[in-house]
């Protein structure tokens, strides 16, 4: 009787051991099944978070790349995504004025909001009207790759705090990405250094960080404030300046209407170069590195052709 029970006990033990070998521990399964849910405001933050987090993050971007980040209106699905998220990544500086109410309506006190512009050297806009919207400076910081380095550090630190078990992997991913970013920046800087004419008119004040980094010269802007139409006097002044100084390139954005850039181009025989401020805004700009390469090279080609 004892031998039978003893044998049966060992049989059960062996079955349990086999079962355990087939299925990983529950916490490992949960870790594999449930990457960190992250919500970001714009696609560039999605790309940076995925570059660092790899398979350990699940990132939802509220904007897809074609919308205007200034005037975006959150959808009900955005509220659901924020309620499920552990991190929300934003640029800050008044770029996403709609984020605060979205987070408040989500009502999740455990949600951590990471403002990735902290510590960035800011550029003040020339127009007082634009500064009324962005009191701290121009918010399009990510268009300078050196600022992307700072943003990536904030993202990496936040991921390590939420998931310290993968800290080494996050640091390795960060280092690899920074190396690729540095190499691309050097290539693009070498390309822009050969330009004889670096001047262009901007459609919207999105480009001062990129222009400063790569030695380009913004000599005028069509829309000084997002959401408002420029006056006829301002447009006429730009046309006269372009004719007088022989400025032949207007930089526009795929996210904006091309009506006014095309009007100025017709009046001055200039041509419009359409770029994107967001990864995914144009074919071939799916990642931040792709977007940076596309924008700089397209602008260089436009300036050389002019």
Do residues 155 and 217 share a domain?
no
Is residue 12 a part of any domain in this protein? no
Domain termination site, one of 167, 187, 207: 187
pLDDT (tens digit per residue) in 155-205: 999 999 999 999 999 999 999 999 999 999 999 999 999 999 999 999 999
pLDDT (tens digit per residue) in 116-164: 999 999 998 764 334 334 457 899 999 999 999 999 999 999 999 999 9
What torsion do the CA atoms of 99, 70, 145, 38 make, to the nearest 10 degrees? 30
Is residue 106 a part of any domain in this protein? yes
Reference 69, options 256, 272, 291; nearest CA is 256
Domain termination site, one of 152, 187, 222: 187
Domain termination site, one of 187, 217, 244: 187
Do residues 37 and 183 share a domain?
yes
CATH code of residue 235: 3.40.50.1980
Low-confidence ranges of the chain (pLDDT < 50): 1-6, 8-10, 12-32, 127-134
Do residues 168 and 267 share a domain?
no
User: In the 8-state DSSP scheme, what is residue 53?
Assistant: H
Which range marks the domain in which residue 276 is found? 196-305
Do residues 99 and 214 share a domain?
no
Do residues 240 and 161 share a domain?
no
User: In the 8-state DSSP scheme, what is residue 235?
Assistant: H
């Amino acid at each position: 009787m004892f031998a039978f029970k003893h044998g049966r006990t060992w049989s059960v033990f062996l079955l349990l051991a086999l079962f355990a070998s087939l299925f990983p521990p529950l916490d490992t399964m949960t870790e594999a099944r449930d990457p960190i849910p992250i919500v970001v405001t714009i696609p560039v933050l999605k790309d940076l978070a995925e570059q660092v987090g790899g398979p350990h993050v699940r990132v939802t971007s509220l904007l897809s790349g074609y919308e205007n980040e200034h005037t975006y209106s959150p959808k009900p699905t955005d509220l659901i995504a924020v309620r499920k998220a552990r991190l929300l990544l934003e640029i800050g500086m008044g770029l996403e004025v709609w984020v605060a109410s979205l987070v408040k309506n989500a009502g999740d006190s455990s949600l951590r909001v990471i403002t990735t512009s902290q510590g960035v050297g800011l550029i003040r806009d020339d127009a007082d009207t634009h500064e009324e919207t962005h009191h701290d400076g121009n918010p399009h910081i990510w268009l300078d790759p050196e600022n992307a380095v700072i943003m990536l550090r904030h993202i990496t630190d936040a991921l390590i705090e939420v998931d310290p078990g993968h800290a080494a992997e996050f640091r390795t991913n960060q280092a690899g990405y920074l190396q690729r970013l540095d190499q691309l920046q050097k290539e693009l800087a070498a390309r822009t250094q050969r330009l004889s004419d670096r001047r262009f008119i901007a459609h919207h004040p999105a480009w001062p960080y990129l222009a400063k980094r790569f030695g380009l010269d913004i000599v005028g802007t069509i829309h000084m404030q997002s959401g408002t139409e420029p006056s006829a006097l301002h447009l006429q002044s730009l046309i006269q300046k372009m004719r007088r100084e022989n400025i032949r390139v207007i930089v526009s954005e795929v996210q904006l209407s091309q009506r006014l850039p095309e009007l100025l181009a017709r009046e001055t025989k200039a041509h419009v170069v359409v770029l994107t401020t967001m990864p995914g805004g144009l074919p071939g700009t799916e990642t931040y590195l792709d977007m940076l390469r596309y924008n700089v090279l397209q602008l260089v080609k436009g300036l050389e052709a002019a």
